[in-house]
């Protein structure tokens, strides 16, 4: 094992890992030696192609299909992930699944509130609870929750509420799950590869974000993924309960 393969022999699970940021995180974990299972809902072709890419790093990798947005669904995915990786305990969990909404609270229907909350918060809690005992028995575990820069806004409605709550959940779980398990989070700002997605909701958001960012640019998926992977490594062994904003300083208050 080289210094860069600090996850060699560890089984990892990434929710919504077949595309976009989740796929980049899965690749970063595999590059560092982890055997990675990733979940997908509909994109079977993308998931299969990603597993092929993961295999280039060696090890065993798998894609499992299911719904990460419900308690029953996430538990089923975790069971299938263990089985797909050879009935091994999961020692790295990345709660990446988190659908977006900008429907104002005044117009937000009950079912949309429940969908966004359950997918972003409830499923992260259920997944963490599900892997806790096996991580403790292995005397080592790493949980990373993917929050968002929207946690620091107050005009992204239920998505803000969910992502801010995920930060509080991270802190609470860090207290309860130690010392064997660390629980941290990342809060990416607007990701450059997803700029077109946010433009569908707010055409001027990207331009405003860049103008408000001290580094003068958007963050990339690979930057976020490297930090997620390193939160599972020896450099961060004494760090828990922390949320790292990855946004070039965009979230810093100013007036």
Cβ-based neighbour number of residue 205 at 10 Å: 14
**Residue 143 structural domain:** 11-246
Q: What integer pLDDT is reported at residue 105 of this predicted model?
A: 98
Band (pLDDT 50/70/90 cuts) for residue 228 is very high
Q: What integer pLDDT is reported at residue 187 of this predicted model?
A: 98
Residue 4 included in any domain: no
Angle between helical axes of 44-55 and 20-31 (0-180°, round to 10): 20
Residue 197 included in any domain: yes
What would the pLDDT profile of 166-193 be if each residue is shown by its tens digit? 999 999 999 999 999 999 999 999 999 9
Q: Chain-wide mean pLDDT for the chain? A: 96
Q: Please determine, for residue 57, whether its predicted confidence score (pLDDT) is greater than 60.
A: yes
Q: What's the total number of domains in the chain?
A: 1
Token pair 């993924």 is found at 225
Task: In whole angstroms, give the CA distance from residue 146 to residue 135.
Answer: 20
Residue 127 included in any domain: yes
- Region 73-94: mean pLDDT is 98
- Region 54-79: mean pLDDT is 97
Q: What integer pLDDT is reported at residue 2 of this predicted model?
A: 53
Residue 1 included in any domain: no
Residue 30 included in any domain: yes
Q: What integer pLDDT is reported at residue 254 of this predicted model?
A: 85
Q: Which three-class secondary structure state does DSSP give residue 17?
A: coil
Residue 251 included in any domain: no
Q: Please determine, for residue 1, whether its predicted confidence score (pLDDT) is greater than 90.
A: no
Residue 239 included in any domain: yes
Residue 26 maps to which CATH number?
Answer: 3.40.50.720
Residue 52 included in any domain: yes
Residues 6+ apart with CB under 8 A from 115: 69, 99
Share of the chain above pLDDT 70, in %: 99
């Amino acid at each position: 094992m080289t210094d860069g393969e600090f996850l060699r022999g560890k089984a990892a699970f990434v929710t919504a890992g077949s595309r976009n940021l989740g796929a980049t995180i899965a690749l970063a974990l595999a590059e560092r030696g982890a055997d990675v299972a990733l979940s997908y809902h509909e994109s079977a072709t993308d998931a299969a192609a990603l597993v092929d890419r993961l295999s280039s790093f060696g090890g065993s990798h798998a894609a499992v299909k299911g719904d990460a947005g419900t308690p029953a669904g996430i538990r089923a995915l975790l069971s299938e992930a263990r089985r797909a990786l050879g009935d091994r305990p999961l020692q790295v969990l990345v709660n990446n699944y988190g659908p977006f909404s900008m429907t104002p609270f005044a117009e937000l229907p009950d079912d949309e509130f429940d969908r966004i909350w359950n997918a972003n918060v409830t499923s992260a809690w259920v997944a963490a609870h599900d892997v806790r005992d096996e991580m403790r028995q292995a005397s080592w575990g790493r949980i990373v929750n993917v929050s968002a820069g929207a946690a620091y806004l107050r005009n992204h409605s239920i998505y803000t509420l969910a992502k801010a709550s995920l930060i509080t959940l991270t802190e609470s779980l860090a207290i309860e799950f130690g010392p064997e398990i660390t629980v941290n989070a990342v809060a990416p700002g607007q990701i450059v590869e997803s700029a077109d997605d946010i433009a569908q909701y707010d055409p001027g958001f990207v331009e405003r974000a860049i103008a408000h960012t001290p580094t003068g640019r958007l963050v990339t998926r690979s930057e976020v993924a490297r930090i997620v992977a390193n939160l599972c490594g020896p450099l961060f062994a004494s760090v828990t309960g922390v949320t790292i904003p990855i946004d070039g300083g965009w979230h810093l208050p100013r007036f």
